Structure 1
Amino acid sequence: MSSLHIKAVNKHYGDYHALKNIDIQIDSGEFLVLVGPSGCGKSTLMNTIAGLDQISEGAILIGDQEVTQLSPKDRDIAMVFQSYALYPSMTVRRNIAFGLEMRKVSPEQIAQEVDRVARLLQIDHLLERKPAELSGGQRQRVAMGRALAREPKIYLFDEPLSNLDAKLRVEMRTEIKKLHQRLKTTIVYVTHDQIEAMTLADRIAVMKDGVLLQLASPEQIYNNPVNMFVAGFMGSPSMNFVRSHLRSLNDGFAVELVNRDGERHLVPLPDRGKALSDWVNREVILGIRPEQIRQASDSPAGTYEGHLTTVLDVVEPTGADTLVVTQLNDQEVTARLDPESHPVPGCPFRLSVDLSKAVLFDPQSEDRIH
């Protein structure tokens, strides 16, 4: 295990600026997930860490050693690819052992290491098979085993689960999580799947257009996004963005919400001192998660809640909960309801809007209003 410092890294491809001053410090044993849409630069950054692509400016340090100019084989990094990259003519045993053989490790040590990794990943019964005889999940385990057999300083995972079906992806995600908890290895993991990022990461780095937008824990990214892009990218269903106006209410502030019938409601916001004073009577964008809009109970609204009646346009039962689509301020919003609420599309339904964790954004810059 070792720490990793990506230090003011820039990458140019001619006139195209692929990575823009990326600076990330990763502690030894930490699980960092790089997340963002296609083309955001996350795989480019991964390739620069591995040495597969040279950076234009900056430095990369593994532990106390700068490795910026070192070749991939001298960086002591293991990489697991999206495509598995297994040798089709070799058995599982040989695929796992191949890297060790190239490093001139003794046959006795290789046998011990292959057996250890195979037991760890529960593929010891597959050692004499070839990749064509394996399922997608088994192939991914072999690819992971080949990386784990080397015991490098850092593991790099480049969208390793994207080729698997949904059920297998969930199972492999759990395996990777358990593996990290057991081995305490330093991992950098690239994905465009925000659920993978939330469930696996110690910290998440959200990227867009080669820029690192936010680096924080999953909880911080989810509850305190720095801008609308981060807020909308993380979470499923994604955060609702509702154009509204900020109003004064008693000694604090409130957001104005209008239901389908044009009824206006002022829903209080948590006390933020004088931070919002400059925004009173101005347009803001209210960011509110689907789970913050739910069925209203018969009890009075809480401190930061507003009860309002609206009509549901769409009802989507998912088993664990029920998603509904309605309108607030003439904009579609999604709410996450209890499956026992039995909502009916086209019928009036009483909702509770909880703003205790709501986020406000500047309509122009799309940055969070603090």
Structure 2
Amino acid sequence: MAELHINGVSKNYGSFQALQDINIKINSGEFLVLIGPSGCGKSTLMNSIAGLDDISQGYIEIGGRDVTNLPPKDRDIAMVFQSYALYPSMTVYQNIAFALEIRKVPKQLIEKEVLRVSNMLKIEHLLDRKPAALSGGQRQRVAMGRALAREPKIFLFDEPLSNLDAKLRVQMRTEIKKLHQRVNSTIVYVTHDQIEAMTLADRIAVIKDGKLLQLGSPDEIYNNPVNLFVAGFMGSPAMNFLRCTLIQKDTLEYGLEVQTNTGQTYVLPMKDESNLNAYLNKTVVLGLRPEQITLAESSDNDSDSSPIVQSRIDVLEPTGADTLILTNWNEKEVTARVHPNNTLSHGDVVSLSVDLTKAILFDPDTEERII
């Protein structure tokens, strides 16, 4: 285990800036997930940590040692790739043992280490097989075993589950979580899958266009996004965004309301309104998670802070654990999350309870969070 410091790292490809002044401190034993859309720079940052890409500016430290100009073999890292990268002519045993043999580890210690990691990953019965005889999940376990056998300071996972089917992804995600809990290693994990990010990470770094937009725990990223992009990117289904006008009503306990394009007004139960004075009588973007919009009869929310909206069901999407309703509110398609036991049909007009206690407001121009 070791700390990893990414200090002011930038990466240019000619005039294109792939990374822009990235600063992240990863604590020893921490599981950090880098997430963002395709082409955002997350894999470039991973390759920079590994030494596969040179950086244009800044420096990288592993365990307090500056490794910026060191080749990958001298950084004491192990990388697990999306493509497994196993040697097809070697057995599972040989694949796991290969890196140790290169380092001239005694044969007896190699055998002990291979058995240790194969037992940990439950692949001891596969040691005599070659990669062609393995399933995708088994190959990924072997790739992880090869990395574990080296006992590096940092583990780097580059979208390791993207080639697996949905069920196997869930199983392997659990295995990786268990693995981290057992070995308590420092892990940097790249993915574009937000479910992987939310379930695996101690902290998540959201990247867009080579910039670090937000770094925080899964709860912080989900419930306190810093801007519209993070709010919309994290969460499935995505957060609902409604353009409203912020108005003030002195007769209310809470003096602020949002007024929709269709003229309805809803009280904002916010006790701290000081940051909103500059936005009075101006357009703001109201952000609501789908779980904040549910059927009125099944809602546990306080009715004083949960207005009722009458709306027609355009699409029903049963998911098993719950049902998603796509409907129109404020001239905008929104998604509500309801209990699956409700008997609903396309075209029904339903009463939706809206929990505004957790509403988030964004500036429509800067896209930054207001409150």
Residues 139-162 of structure 1, C-alpha deviation per residue, up to 9 Å, x if partnerless?
000000000000000000000000
Give me the whole-angstrom Cα distance separating, in 2, the residues matched to 1:61 and 1:303: 53
Aligned to 1:255: 258
- Secondary structure in structure 1 of the residue aligned to 2:307: strand
Give me the whole-angstrom Cα distance separating, in 1, the residues matched to 2:290 and 2:356: 11
Aligned CA RMSD, in angstroms, stands at 1.3
Q: Offset at 1:263?
A: 6.9
Q: Offset at 1:14?
A: 1.0
Q: Offset at 1:254?
A: 2.0
Give me the whole-angstrom Cα distance separating, in 2, the residues matched to 1:106 and 1:257: 72
- Secondary structure in structure 2 of the residue aligned to 1:59: strand
Aligned to 2:57: 57
Aligned to 2:363: 362
Q: Offset at 1:353?
A: 0.4
Contact 2:257–2:265, Cα closer than 8 Å, also in 1: no
Aligned to 1:291: 291
**Count of aligned residue pairs for this structure pair:** 367
Matched to 2:46, the amino acid is: M
Q: Offset at 1:273?
A: 3.1
Give me the whole-angstrom Cα distance separating, in 2, the residues matched to 1:206 and 1:304: 32
Aligned to 1:118: 118
- Secondary structure in structure 2 of the residue aligned to 1:297: helix
> Identity across aligned pairs (percent)?
64
Matched to 2:364, the amino acid is: P
Contact 1:268–1:303, Cα closer than 8 Å, also in 2: no
Residues 151-183 of structure 1, C-alpha deviation per residue, up to 9 Å, x if partnerless?
000000000000000000010000000110111
Aligned to 2:324: 323
Matched to 2:337, the amino acid is: R
Moved more, 354-363 or 156-165: 354-363
Matched to 1:367, the amino acid is: E
Please give the TM-score of this superposition, normalised by the length of structure 2.
0.96
Contact 2:243–2:260, Cα closer than 8 Å, also in 1: no
Aligned to 1:3: 3
Matched to 1:337, the amino acid is: V
Moved over 4 A (4+): 298-301
Q: Offset at 1:109?
A: 0.4
Q: Offset at 1:303?
A: 3.9
Contact 1:255–1:269, Cα closer than 8 Å, also in 2: no
Q: Offset at 1:264?
A: 1.8
Give me the whole-angstrom Cα distance separating, in 2, the residues matched to 1:336 and 1:221: 20
Contact 1:360–1:368, Cα closer than 8 Å, also in 2: yes
Structure 2: state its 5+ residue gaps. none
Moved more, 108-117 or 299-308: 299-308
Is the counterpart of residue 222 in structure 1 residue 217 in structure 2? no
- Secondary structure in structure 1 of the residue aligned to 2:207: strand
Give me the whole-angstrom Cα distance separating, in 2, the residues matched to 1:225 and 1:59: 28
Give me the whole-angstrom Cα distance separating, in 2, the residues matched to 1:244 and 1:345: 27
Q: Offset at 1:94?
A: 0.3
Contact 2:301–2:355, Cα closer than 8 Å, also in 1: no
Matched to 2:104, the amino acid is: K
Residues 290-348 of structure 1, C-alpha deviation per residue, up to 9 Å, x if partnerless?
00000002888534211121111111111110000111110000000011122222121
- Secondary structure in structure 1 of the residue aligned to 2:341: helix
Aligned to 1:98: 98
Give me the whole-angstrom Cα distance separating, in 2, the residues matched to 1:143 and 1:264: 57
Aligned to 2:88: 88
Contact 2:21–2:211, Cα closer than 8 Å, also in 1: yes
Aligned to 2:173: 173
Q: Offset at 1:44?
A: 0.4
